[in-house]
Amino acid sequence: GDSVTQMEGPVTLSEEAFLTINCTYTATGYPSLFWYVQYPGEGLQLLLKATKADDKGSNKGFEATYRKETTSFHLEKGSVQVSDSAVYFCALSRDTGRRALTFGSGTRLQVQP
């Protein structure tokens, strides 16, 4: 079945550091890939998405590129801020069959001033 694997956290960085959160997936067909973010006490918000190979999703300084050859969708940001502290979830949606998302286990990011 489908699965998403994320690097374990927490990831602790100083403000303005470079961020990478790794995400790899297993799925049949051509899934769409997503990064969601959950701030403390809130529900999940879509951060960015990519729907086909080599697409790059970007939002709020975050980027991720859909790499079909390595089945990866790593999240990057060049300079993190304290306000980026949150839990980040990688997810996929298949193009056929079940319409629900398959999520990774989440990675907590803590940014220190």
Q: Which residues bind other proteins (CB under 8 A)?
A: 4, 32, 34, 36, 42-46, 49, 89, 93-96, 98-101, 103-106
Per-residue tokens: 104: 């990774």
Nearer to other proteins, 71 or 93 (CB): 93
Least distance to other proteins, CB of residue 22, Å: 15
Q: Which residue has the tokens 């502290």?
A: 85
Element (H, E) at 108: strand 107-112
DSSP reduced 3-state for 8:
coil
Query: Which residue in this structure is represented by tokens 């990774």?
Result: 104
| For other proteins, the closer CB: 15 or 95 | 95
Nearer to other proteins, 99 or 113 (CB): 99
